[in-house]
Amino acid sequence: MPDNKFVRALFPGSFDPITNGHLDVIQRGKKMFDQVIVAIGDNVQKDCLFTGQERLEMIQEQFGDDPEIKVVRFTNLTVECAKEHDCQVILRGLRNLTDVQYEFQLAMTNRAIAAIETVFIMTSEEFGFTSSTLIREVGRYGGDISRLVPDKIYKLLTERLNEKY
C-alpha cells in the first residue's frame, strides 16, 4: 500500500448512548486509520432513549473539532453509508464470543455485497461487558453507570432516564 494513501474507516452503531467502550474503539481506531467516521444508525426496531439528532450532537460535542473524527447519521445500509463517505473499511469493536459470531456474519455479508473489508478491534478488558442497552437498563434502576459513559453523556443520560422512568 502506498505511504500516501488516506484510509478512512466507518464505525457504525446506534450509540444510544455512546459508551466508554465505544470511545476506546474510536481512539484505538484513530491510531490505525487517517480518519474514523462515527456513523449513527437510526434503527426503527430499537426503542432509542435519544433521538438520532441528539445522539449526533452528543457525539460531536465529545470529539469537538478533531479532524480525525467525523460524526454522521445514516438510515440506509451500512455499506451504502461507507460508500457515501469514501470509507475503505468498516471498523467494529468486539467484546465477547457472541459478538464474534454476529460480526463475522455481517463482515462476510458486507464483503460479498459491497467488497468492503471489516477490521475488528477487541474492546479493552475494562469495557468488555458493557453495551448501551445494558447501561440504559442499569441506569434505569438506579445503578452506578458513571464509569461506563463519558461525564457529559452521564449527565444527559441520567436526566433522560429520570424524565422517562
Active site residues: 22, 46, 95, 132
Contact of 81 with 10, CB cutoff 8 Å: yes
What grid cell was written down for 71? 460524526
DSSP string, 1-26: --TT---EEEEEE--TT--HHHHHHH
Question: How many residues are there in the chain?
Answer: 165
Nearest to 22, CA basis, from 35, 1, 36, 6:
36
Q: How far apart are CA 6 and CA 24, in angstroms?
A: 22
